Each structure stands twice: as C-alpha cells, then as structure tokens.
A and B are shown apart, each in its own frame.
Chain A
Amino acid sequence: MGWYIFKRLIQGIITVWFIATATFFAMHSVPGDPLLNDRAVTPAIRANLEAKYGLDQPLLTQYVIYLGNLSRGDFGISFTQENRQVNDIIREHFPVSAILGILAVLFAALGGVLWGSLTALYRNRLPDYIIMFLVILGISVPSFVVAALSQYSLVTLNNAVGQTLLPVAGWGTILHMLVPAMVLGLSTMAYLTRLMRSSMLEVINSDFVRTAKSKGLPPARIFTRHQVRNAILPVITVLGPQIAVITTGGFVVEIVFAIPGLGRFFVEAVQQLDYTVIMGTTVFYGAFLVFMVIVVDVLYGFIDPRVRLK
C-alpha cells in the first residue's frame, strides 16, 4: 500500500514536470508580447522590464531558471499585478475557489446520487422522465447562461420581496455562495445523475440483487447495501477529476457573481499573456488534478475490497 502510493506520487511529479514543460514552451510560442501596453515605451525602459522578468535570457536559460524556481516552489512575480508574487495570488485566491468548489461538488455529488437513484427506482415513469429532462437541460445549457439567468431571477425575487434575500453577487458568507455553487455544480450534477442512473440499472438486474430478494431481505436493505453501494463506484471514479474540473472551471461563475477566485486569474492571465501567472496557475492546477486522481485511486481500495492496491 505504502509502496503503491509512493509509486503513484513519483508518477505524479513526472506528470507535473511534463505539464510545466509543455505549458512553458507552448506559452512562449503563443504570438504576442506580454510587456507591450497601450502606451509605447522607450528601448531603455523595455530593457529594464525584460531584465526584471528575465526575458532578456535565451529561452532555454529561462526554462532552466524557471525549473529551478519551481523546485523551490517559487512562481515569480506577476506581469500584470506588478507587485504581487504568483504564490500570494494562489494562496489568497485558491481558497475562495476551493470553498466554492467544495460546496458545488457536494451539491453535485449528493444531488447526482439522489436523483440518479430516484430515476433508477422510478425508471420509465413520470419522475424519471421529469428528472432526465432536467438532466439534459443541465448538461446542455452553458454555465454563463445559467449564471446570468439565476442572477437575474435573484434580482427579480429580491425586488418582488422588497429586500435582499440572497445577495446578487459578492463573497463572504454562505448566502453569497449558495446560488453560484449550484450553478457551478449543475452540469456535474446532471452528469452524475445520468451516470448513477445507468449504473443503478445495471446493478438492479444483477444476480446478487436477485439472490438478496429471493432470500427475503428487507427492500430498504437491498436497496442501500446491495444496489446503491455497488452502483456508486463509477460515480466516485469520476468525482476526483470532476472536483478539479469544478474548482478550475469556475471562471464564468466567478466573473458573473464577482467572486475573487483563482479561476478568473487562470483565464485572464492567458488573455493578458501574464507568463508567470499562466505558469503558476497551470502547474498548480495540474498538480491539483494529478493529486485528486491519486486520492481517488487510493480511496477506491477502501470502498471496493475487490480492488487491491499493489
């Protein structure tokens, strides 16, 4: 077990190194100049800016310096937020994305399992049709539409009531988080519902469920012990990557609801060609994603005794 985890961690580090290298060279080959701004600057100032960010070195030297800094956990200074360390940006803004992400994942996972089990239970009957219709909506409507619509409904609701029931945007309390988290978790919830439904249907027709029924076990016990517990495995498998998807994919929701999360930096850095922030966020998110996948693989061993970690 310990050896397995060690092996996976080493693999993970190699993956992260690969991500860092690929991003580094891809980023530098993107056309555009991070130091250009509306107002043109003199060659002397330009040279100073290049020296400040190490852009005066050959690309390979820059890469070596970058890897050296990376191994010390130093991502450098942002190009656009000129006085801020990328490490500070990640430290200050990732918790925001993570908190929102945790809530969104909770909504998505619990909702997915619940609605998925329900649809399987009521398959081909009205509740199943209604839920599956909503699921299709949830998967196909893009999050910026859902975000804008839900914000608009919030305003309408608040205006109708005459007071602010839920804040329209902003950050700080659970009230600020509820609607954004639901919007953020919606498509994952829909996806998990479908996954849970098909997985449940597979299990319902399996031999061990029939055996359990014929042995006269109480239905509730069959349902929870033999069906849900077996059917939930695929959901857990995709949950790890989905957590990463949700925490990194909050860009739209963060913009619409004015939430100071890291997702905004992730996307805006690319638009602004902010080299250090692009590298910092990509490597950080890459490491996060790799880590989540490892965690899920290890968790698997506990949930499903058939999986032996070697």
Chain B
Amino acid sequence: MEPWVILAGYAFSLMKFQSYDSQRGQAGLGEEKMEHREQSFTSSAAKQLALYAFYTMVALAVIMYMLSIAAGRTGSTASGVAVDPDNNSITIALRQEPPQLDHVRATDSSSIIVLSHSMEGLIAYNDAGSLIPGMAERWEIREDGATFWIREEARWSDGVPVTAHDFVFSWRRAVDPATAAEYSFILYPIVNAEEINQGNLPPQTLGVRAVNDRVLEVDFNQPTPYFDKLVAFITYFPTREDFFNNTEGRYGADADMMLANGPYIVTEWTHSASMTWEKNPYYWNDEKGFLDTINVGYITEDVNAKLNLFKDGQISDTHLVAPMLGSAMEQRWQIDRSMDGTVFFLQLNFREDRITANKNFRKALQYAQDPVEFVYKALKEPSYLPAVSLFPYWIRGVDDSFRKEYPPPEHEFNVAKAREHLELARQELGIEEFPPLVILADDSPIGSISSEYYQATFTKNLGLEIRIDKQIFKQRLAKMTAGDFDIVVSGWGPDYDDALTFGDLFASWNLNNRGRYASEAMDEQIRIAQSELDPLRRMEAFAEIQRIVHEDVVMIPMYERGWSFVVDPRLKGFKRRAVGPEVDYNFAYIETGEE
C-alpha cells in the first residue's frame, strides 16, 4: 500500500511544476516566438518525463513487493507490541547480539541476560535478589566441601530430568583448557580446578562427583563460605552430556543447539535480528516465568533508536541517558533508577619505573581530585553515584549493607595537602620536573569525559603535564596488560553477590590487577576473606582491604554506574540488577487492570 503513497507524492510534485511552467508560458505570450517555443519544449518534455516517472513508479512498486518477500526470507524482526495482554507476551530489545550461548564460555552481559532466563543453576536469585533454591532443593556447605540435593521436579526443556551428572559434566568442561572458558577461574575453589585448567591434570580429577542422580558432592581446596553465591553464576549451570555431544561443537550457537532448564526456552534466534523466548512447560518453579512469550524484537546499541521504539509502543522498557531525561519528564513517564553494579576508578601503575609507584605522588593525586564534583559537574548522569570505596554501596555485610557496617575512610579534597605530598614525592624521587603522565582511556564518550576531567584537574591543582591516550577497547586492554600507562580509567563489575568479587581484585596473584599492585598486608587480608568461615571476621578482612586501598592509594574511586530507565506501566515485576542479568524478566507479569 505504501508505495502508492509515494507514487502519488511524486506525481503531485510533477503536476505542481507543470502548472508553474504553464503559467510562465502564458505570461510569456508577448515575448519572442523563439522563447515561446523553448517554453513549449520544456512543457512537453516535462510531460514525457512525468510519464516515464509514472512507469518507473509502477515498476518500482513491483520490485519493492518482490524485495519485501525476499526480506521476509532473511528473517524478520517481531513487529509486535510492547505489552500484549491478550497473548500474555512482551517485546524487548537487547543491546547486543550474544556472541554464543554456551553458558560455560559466555562472558558478556547480553549472553548473561539470555542464559539467566533460559537456564538455572543449583541456587538462584529471587525477585529481591536474595538466594533461593534452584535446581537444588537444599544444600550444605562445609569447611571441606559441599553437598547439593537436586530436586525431583528439575527437568530439561525436553522433559528429561536434570541430574547431578549434568553438573559434573558441565564443571569439568568449564575447567578443561580445551574449552578455553574465560570464566574458568570462578571454579578454582574446587579441588584440582586450577591444575586442570593449566593443563597439568585431566578434567576427570576435578573434585566434584555425582553420588547418585540427585546428590552432588563437591570438594574444596580451602574453606569457601561464599560457594552458594558462586553456583548461581552461569559458568556453574548444568550441561547435559548427550545433548552436548550431539551438537558437534556447536553447543549454544543456535536456538536448536541449546537446552533450557530455566523458566523460558529460546525457541527462535535469528542472528543479530531477533529471538523468541517461550515459557518452559517443564520448569518447576511457578513463582518465576509468568509470561507466555518474550520477543526480543530488536538488537541495537543505539539508545535513541530504543527510546523511539519505546515511544512508539514497540518495546516494554529502555534505559535513558542524561540528555534524554528532560524530554522523558515532559512525557510524564515514571523514571526509575538502579545500580549497574560496576565501580569505575583510576587504576594506577605500580611497576617500578613509574612515578605512580611513589606513595606520596599517589597521595597527591588522591587529595587533588573530588569524585563528587566529577559525577555531578562533569558526568551529569543522575543515576551515577560518586564512588568512595572499592566496594559499591549495595554489597552486603554481616546483617546490613557492608558500607553501613564498615564505613569507608572519608575522602578529603585538599589541594594544599596534595601539593605537600607532591613536593615530598619530588624530593624522594630526586627530580626537578615530573615527566608527563599518561592517562589511558577507551574511546567511549564517558571515557573521553573522564580522561579529560582528570587531565584538567591534575593540571590545575598539581601543575602536572597529563597526556591522554585514547584507545579502542581491545587496544586499551592490551596496553593495560602490558603496563603501558601511568593511570588508566577502568571499571570492575561483580560476577557473584559477595564482597570478594571486588575484594580480591588487588591480590598480587590476580591477573586482573593490571597495575601490578602487590603488598603483603593486602594479600593476607584477601586470604582471610577467601576462606574465613566466621562472617564477622570475614567482613573485617574486607574492611581492612577497604582501608588499605584508601591508605595506600591502590586506586582512585570515580563513580558507581547506574541506570535511569522507563518501563511500560502495564508491565510489573521487571528488575534491573547489579549482579546477574542486567535486565530480569523472570518475575515480570502484565497487569491487566481487571483485578
């Protein structure tokens, strides 16, 4: 139908020109004959052109019809509605195409979102983010190991029971170096995991075994009090051996190469275009998965496109960036906020040849900047919080929030003190002028704002010469790993819901400690945090880590990232999470308004 609209438009515009021309023609009556002939030439040629245009339009309509059919064959996106109460379905947009959906190898947020809906581990999260039984109906965590009792109703999406063997197979696969799973380190508390992962032992020696179909036994290297939180992570999810072997190396590559044991089944996956998740009839928990269908209608990173889709009633929720908030408020939308979980900070280089290895110099940097000013005056993202610690505010302590129980050392923004420390550093290093400092950052808009803000701040308050080294993501990582920086703008997000996910970052053995910070005191506290069974003493270790990070200026906190977002008012129970899936529809349902 649409082609005709355009066609009419074309024809109309042509008629306009012709009438204009004929007026000119009449006006030119008294002019020379030659001029008149020129006019009539124009007019009849224009008529011919109009006729041609008309034929072309008809041909174009036919071609477009054929193209439309062809396009349908390449896979179509859902042109559904954001919230459809009649079919009990919603349409959403994903930020990125999941690289692949093998839970053992997945690392990115899009994959975690999908897998958190299609699969479930031994232990799961409830709508409030607390741990609840998942595939395991009960469990016991001891000093030397753990036992999980798998529930009888646990089923794969083809009706076959989920057994302890599925977990054994999956975990062995995760630490097998042949799998090359980036998250294999998360299984290291299990006996032999690290050795296997380094290729020194066969995967069969992993300290996990199925006593029978429903009892799973795990042996620890050392006490692992947070193991219940680990098994909620995707790498610990089960894989069924016979299904995996049938996929011939393509496990998780397509919808038919996946097996679900969670509330939803991925039934369709058109790469980079769309997905369909349907309710899993075999899923055991009726407190989760209330929708019949979730259509991933769009895969786009463009926040403006997502906002337009939301406005047009095509998707159920979208996040907003600062420039959009004004118009969102004009629309009188309910704007919600949540924490993304990630903490951003300036990581400093502790390699010996760097000035940043000098403690007084680091102290100078610390005193010379103010994260509050940075977040509220430079970033201006209302959902972001100024960071004050390595541990974000949502981390749990013994009974309450960790940061309430153990408040971080107060940051002091004091240029005079900063200059004192700078002078001390100058004397200690025995130099006249500080060489230029390199701030490494990624090429994102926020990476630019951050590096430019700190460049300006350190130049103004300390008179240092700062150079910005802006790189694409992979090159920034390469330079970070090689230690080719003085300061790097970086962030750290949680893998599991425990303070240790942040706490062990600056361990001397942690490969992610890319500034190579190493101190005995820090390592000792991290060892306590890893294996102490008494929650109180464990939290005290984290408090000590928090203090060392500040006292030794291991890094300079910048901000805790958050989201501003809008949700279709008919959709209830939608969550954005700091740990686990970024967006969570497991508890989402449509309010029909009849009750």
Point out residues on A near B: beta carbons under 8 Å. 30-34, 36-45, 47-49, 52, 80-84, 89, 92-93, 95-96, 99, 102-103, 106, 110, 114, 117-118, 121-122, 125-127, 148, 151-152, 154-155, 158-159, 164, 166-178, 213, 218-220, 222-224, 255-258, 260, 264-265, 271-273
One digit per residue, 1 when the CB lies within 8 angstroms of any chain A CB and 0 when it does not, for chain B 15-46 equals: 00100110010000000000000001110111
* Selected A-B contacts with CB under 8 Å, 16 pairs: A32-B478, A33-B478, A89-B271, A122-B21, A152-B304, A155-B312, A168-B314, A169-B77, A169-B314, A173-B71, A173-B79, A177-B68, A220-B48, A255-B302, A258-B300, A271-B474
Supplied contacts A33-B478, A169-B300, A222-B45, 10 more A-B pairs, CB within 8 Å: A32-B471, A42-B197, A83-B249, A103-B67, A114-B56, A122-B21, A126-B20, A127-B20, A223-B45, A272-B473
Q: How far is the CA of A40 from the CA of B257 in the complex (A)?
A: 28
* In contact, B107 and A38 (Cβ under 8 angstroms): yes
Task: Say whether B453 faces chain A, with CB atoms less than 8 Å apart.
Answer: no
Contact (Cβ within 8 A) B472 A32: yes
Determine whether B246 belongs to the interface, using a CB cutoff of 8 Å to chain A.
no
What is the number of contacts between chain A and chain B, taking CB atoms within 8 Å?
256
Q: Is B383 an interface residue (CB 8 A)?
A: no
Chain B residues near A (Cβ < 8 Å): 2-3, 6, 17, 20-21, 24, 40-42, 44-49, 52-53, 56, 60, 63-65, 67-68, 70-79, 93, 97, 99-100, 102, 105, 107, 177-178, 180-185, 197-199, 249-253, 257, 270-273, 297-302, 304-305, 308-309, 311-314, 471-475, 477-479, 481, 510-512, 514
A44-B198, A45-B197 as given contacts; A171 in contact with B308, CB under 8 Å: no
Least CB separation from A221: chain B residue: B48
Distance in Å: Cβ of B593 to nearest Cβ of chain A: 20
In the complex, chain B residues whose CB is within 8 Å of the CB of A273: 472, 474-475
A243 to chain B, nearest CB (A): 15
Query: Per a CB cutoff under 8 Å, which of B2, B297, B299, B471 touches A174?
Result: B2
A37 touches B481 (CB 8 A): no
Assembly CA distance A94 to B319 (angstroms)? 30
Q: Is the CB of B302 within 8 A of A258?
A: yes
CB atoms of B198 and A167 under 8 A apart: no
From B20, B24, B180, residue with most partner A Cβ within 10 Å: B180
Determine which of A99, A127, A218 lies in contact with B71 in the assembled complex, contact meaning CB atoms within 8 Å. A99
Given contacts A45-B197, A110-B56, contact A219 B45 (CB under 8 A): yes
- Measured in the bound complex, the distance between the Cα atoms of B65 and A174 in whole Å is 7
Asked if A81 contacts B99 (CB within 8 A), the reply is: yes
Assembled-state Cα–Cα distance A125/B178 (Å)? 73
B64 contacts across to A, CB distance below 8 A? 103, 174, 177
Contact B180 A52 (CB under 8 A): yes
Contact A164 B74 (CB under 8 A): no
Contact across chains for A84 and B271 when beta carbons are under 8 A apart? yes
Q: Which residues of B contact A265 (CB under 8 A)?
A: 272
For the complex, give the distance between the alpha carbons of A118 and B48 in Å.
11
> Whole-angstrom distance from the CB of A271 to the nearest CB of chain B?
6
A260 and B299 within 8 A (CB): yes
Specify the chain B residue showing the minimal Cβ separation from A48. B180
For the complex formed, measure the closest distance between the CB of B101 and the CB atoms of chain A, giving whole angstroms. 9
| 8 pairs of A and B residues whose beta carbons are closest in the complex | A172-B76, A40-B511, A83-B253, A174-B68, A32-B475, A260-B273, A223-B45, A170-B77
- Is the pair B99, A49 in contact by a Cβ cutoff of 8 Å? no
Contact A33 B300 (CB under 8 A): no
B77 and A81 within 8 A (CB):
no
List chain B residues, Cβ under 8 A from A155: 308, 311-312
Cβ distance B130 to chain A, nearest Cβ, rounded Å: 26
Nearest neighbor of B17 in chain A, beta-carbon distance: A127
Note all chain A residues with C-beta closer than 8 A to B65. Answer: 174
Min Cβ gap B87→A in Å is 17
Q: Which residue of A lies closest to B311 (CB)?
A: A155
Which among A117, A158, A172 has the highest number of chain B CB atoms within 10 Å?
A: A172
Among A218, A220, A224, the one with the most B-chain Cβ atoms within 10 Å of its Cβ is: A220
The distance in angstroms between the C-alpha atoms of A177 and B79, with both chains bound, is 13
| Chain B CB within 10 A, most for which of A80, A114, A122, A176 | A114
Please report the C-alpha to C-alpha distance between residue A106 and residue B301 in the assembled complex, in whole angstroms. 29
Contact B93 A166 (CB under 8 A): no
Cβ–Cβ < 8 Å partners of A222 in chain B: 41, 45
Q: Tell me whether A178 and B56 are in contact (CB under 8 A).
A: no
Tell whether, in the assembled complex, residue B312 and residue A159 are in contact, meaning their CB atoms are under 8 Å apart.
Answer: yes
- Which residues of A are found within 8 Å of B178, using beta-carbon distances? 48
Query: How near does chain B come to A117, taking the closest CB pair, in angstroms?
Result: 6
Contact of A258 with B77 at beta-carbon distance under 8 Å, contacts A45-B197, A118-B17, A151-B308 already known: yes
Q: Is the CB of B68 within 8 A of A82?
A: no
| B75, A171: Cβ atoms closer than 8 Å | yes
Residues in chain B near residue A30, CB distance under 8 A: 475
